[in-house]
């Protein structure tokens, strides 16, 4: 069997479970015995920016343009950036707006990702039915392997 470089997509949201997913993605990349280094894509999906109405004279700027963004970004991406740097694994950060599951799935298909690593909060049956589960939707519709980290 030929072991080539793996493309690993990890969903980041700043939660403890996303930190666990980040650590697992780095372990996965380090564990690839191939001479070709795996690459990790860390994706932070922010909610859609609020739509402006005709009554808005000054629309709100996206969070990525706020003064607090640098500090918030550093806090959210700290674990994946630190672990990837220490392990010498190439890392690419993606910050996008939209539905988390949809954005992860689109990116995975476009970039031909080999595995998606994502945390699952285990909110329970009722909450999952009402709100939907990002990890469930990704696992159901992804065209690649999905590694779910449980809390």
Token reading at 80: 């994946």
Smallest CA-to-CA distance from 81 within 93, 71, 70 is with 93
Q: How confident is the model at residue 124 (pLDDT cuts 50, 70, 90)?
A: low
pLDDT at 130 exceeding the cut of 50: no
Could you give all domains of the chain from N- to C-terminal order, each with its CATH number? Answer: 7-48+60-149 (3.40.50.620)
Residues of the chain by 3-state class (helix, strand, coil), percent to 5 = 40, 20, 35
CB atoms within 10 A of CB 96: 14
Q: Mind listing the pLDDT tens digit for each residue in 55-114?
A: 555 666 666 667 787 888 889 999 999 999 999 999 999 999 999 999 999 999 999 999
Query: Which two three-digit tokens encode residue 45?
Result: 């999906």
Burial of 118 (0-12, 13-18, 19+ CB in 10 A): buried
User: In angstroms, rounded to a whole number, what is the distance separating the alpha carbons of residues 141 and 49?
Assistant: 25
Q: Do 71 and 122 form a contact (C-beta atoms < 8 A)?
A: no
Is 151 within 8 Å of 20 (Cβ atoms)? yes
Q: Say how far apart CA 93 and CA 91 lie, in whole Å.
A: 7
């Amino acid at each position: 069997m030929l072991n080539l470089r793996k493309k690993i997509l990890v969903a980041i949201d700043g939660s403890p479970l996303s930190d666990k997913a980040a650590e697992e993605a780095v372990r996965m990349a380090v564990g690839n015995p191939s001479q070709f280094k795996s690459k990790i894509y860390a994706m932070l999906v922010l909610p859609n920016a609020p739509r402006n109405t005709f009554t808005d004279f000054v629309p709100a700027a996206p969070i990525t343009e706020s003064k607090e963004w640098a500090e918030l970004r550093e806090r959210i991406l700290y674990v994946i950036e630190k672990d990837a740097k220490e392990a010498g694994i190439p890392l690419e950060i993606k910050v996008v707006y939209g539905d988390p599951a949809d954005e992860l799935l689109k990116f995975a298909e476009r970039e031909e990702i080999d595995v998606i690593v994502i945390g699952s909060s285990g909110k329970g049956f009722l909450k999952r039915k009402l709100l939907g589960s990002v990890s469930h939707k990704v696992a159901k519709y992804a065209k690649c392997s999905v590694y779910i980290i449980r809390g």
